[in-house]
Amino acid sequence: MSLSISDVLLLPRLQAMRLRAGQAGEHHTVRWPYVAENESIAEWVLGGELVFVTGINQLRSEANLCQLVREAHERRCAGLVILTGPEYIREIPDSVLHEADRLGLPLIEQPYALPMIVVTEAIGSALVQAQWLGSSRQQFVEHLLEGHLVDDAVRAHRAASLAIDLRQPRQVLVLTLGGSAALFRSYAPDMAETLLQSFRQGVLSHLTRALAELGEPWPIVSQAEQWLALLPAAASDEAQRNRSLVEQLLHTLNDGDTPLRVFGGLSAVCPQARDLPRGLTQARQALVAAQSFPERLGLCCFEELGVLELLVAIRDRSLLDRFVQTTLGPLLQHDQSHHAALTATLEAWTQTNGNLVAAAQRLNVHRNTLNYRMQQIQILTGLDLNDAQHRLNIAIALMIWRLSPHQSHTRTLP
């Protein structure tokens, strides 16, 4: 369970604090309070902080306060608290309020008469309590997903004690983060780590916000570079709504200039709590396809897998590798040795149902170039591209190759 800005304002003894601007961010999760002592906060926060600005140790001009609002927004802070009174910051300028409203950053006014020790103690105690309850609820959801709670009576009792409603059907969503290695290759280690932690916090914040829109959200389970969430799906149209919501979420998260990218897998609807372990398996299977097939734009639903459901369920990897080697081995070896693009050409031809004109347009090459490549492919593989069984084998082999864990899927340019 998390502590939001709106929760902070409802804490006992903090009634004197007022939300002056940025009401759109009332749902922001507070990780801890931070008192700003420097002119800038950009280098001192990682995201989720409720930043307190006193003006006692650092003169705060109107321009500086506007700067702090922007920095708090850019660094994904939960909100900004400005202490006001006759001695230091007398009042919050209108320009600062307007900037907070524009960015949707909660801006709270706290009178100096309300001691900081009272505020930090109240928030600290609430954070500890929320963390304990949140940890218990998160652990319960994790046990549900992993199939540890098989006894119906025990499951129902624990759910009731943690205020988790098990009656509603759910879909399991698995998000995973990719691109960390590329990030550390592109930036200095300290900068890369800062960007990574900020991005992770952004994923959690945006996912929390998206789940809140659906009402009565369950806790999000974080596992290394993955996030597990359960989306309500009681009505017949809610599965499509969930897909659209995740699509928008991924679009928002991936609309940046770093190598970091988020991929998602969504299960079929799980009617009961006992179905959730199966849903987790389905979501992870869909995630493999989402990561392997760029045309899916980072998201795949289990019910969209088709034949991929069979492929990702085969545990003996050697069977799949052998099929790929038998069907496409000489072609893959030729491309690797000659830095060629025959495999990409065969993929384009397959995806356009053998339409040479459409495949040439997709690859942005001349029709004669495509014809020459297709001749090379037939010579190397010995496959008859007019044979229906051969074409089926090619399509399946390409799917397996794309799903291969040791295949980088770096596409060679035509």
pLDDT digit string, tens, across residues 289-302? 888 776 667 898 88
Which pair of tokens denotes residue 400?
A: 């397996």
Beta strands in 36-141 (DSSP E): 49-53, 79-84, 107-111
- pLDDT higher than 90, residue 213: no
- pLDDT higher than 50, residue 104: yes
Highest mean pLDDT among 21-25, 146-150, 289-293, 402-406: 21-25
One-letter amino acid of 148:
H
Give 403's pLDDT tier (boundaries 50, 70, 90). low
Question: What pLDDT, on a 0 to 100 scale, did the predictor assign at position 27?
Answer: 87
Question: What pLDDT, on a 0 to 100 scale, did the predictor assign at position 71?
Answer: 96
Report which of 234, 347, 221 is spatially closest to residue 292, judged by C-alpha positions.
347
Averaged pLDDT score across all residues of the chain = 88
Question: What pLDDT, on a 0 to 100 scale, did the predictor assign at position 257?
Answer: 85
| 266 strand-pairing partners | 173, 301
Give 185's pLDDT tier (boundaries 50, 70, 90). very high
Mean pLDDT for 229-251 is 90
- pLDDT higher than 90, residue 101: yes
Q: State the Rg of the chain over Cα.
A: 27
Question: What pLDDT, on a 0 to 100 scale, did the predictor assign at position 312?
Answer: 67
Give the largest CA-CA distance in the chain. 87
* Whole-angstrom distance, CA of residue 133 vs CA of residue 1: 6
Give 411's pLDDT tier (boundaries 50, 70, 90). very low
- pLDDT higher than 90, residue 41: yes
Question: pTM of the predicted model, to two decimals?
Answer: 0.59
A 10 A CB-CB count for 268 gives 18
Give 72's pLDDT tier (boundaries 50, 70, 90). very high
Share of the chain above pLDDT 90, in %: 46
Mean pLDDT for 12-41 is 93
- Model pLDDT for residues 320-362, shown as the tens digit of each residue: 888 888 999 999 989 888 887 898 899 888 888 888 898 899 8
* Whole-angstrom distance, CA of residue 191 vs CA of residue 83: 32
More confident: 20 or 392: 20
Between helices 367-381 and 356-363, what is the axis angle to 10°?
100
C-beta contacts of 360-369 below 8 A and 24+ residues apart: 363/414, 364/414, 365/414
More confident: 400 or 242: 242
Angle at alpha carbon of residue 217, lines to 213 and 221, rounded to 5°: 120
* Whole-angstrom distance, CA of residue 385 vs CA of residue 405: 28
Question: What pLDDT, on a 0 to 100 scale, did the predictor assign at position 275?
Answer: 93
Question: What pLDDT, on a 0 to 100 scale, did the predictor assign at position 296?
Answer: 63
Give 405's pLDDT tier (boundaries 50, 70, 90). low
Give 400's pLDDT tier (boundaries 50, 70, 90). confident
Q: Is 86 strand, coil or helix? A: coil
Give 414's pLDDT tier (boundaries 50, 70, 90). very low
Between helices 317-338 and 388-403, what is the axis angle to 10°?
90
- pLDDT higher than 70, residue 233: yes
* Whole-angstrom distance, CA of residue 360 vs CA of residue 367: 6
* Whole-angstrom distance, CA of residue 283 vs CA of residue 300: 8
- pLDDT higher than 80, residue 315: no
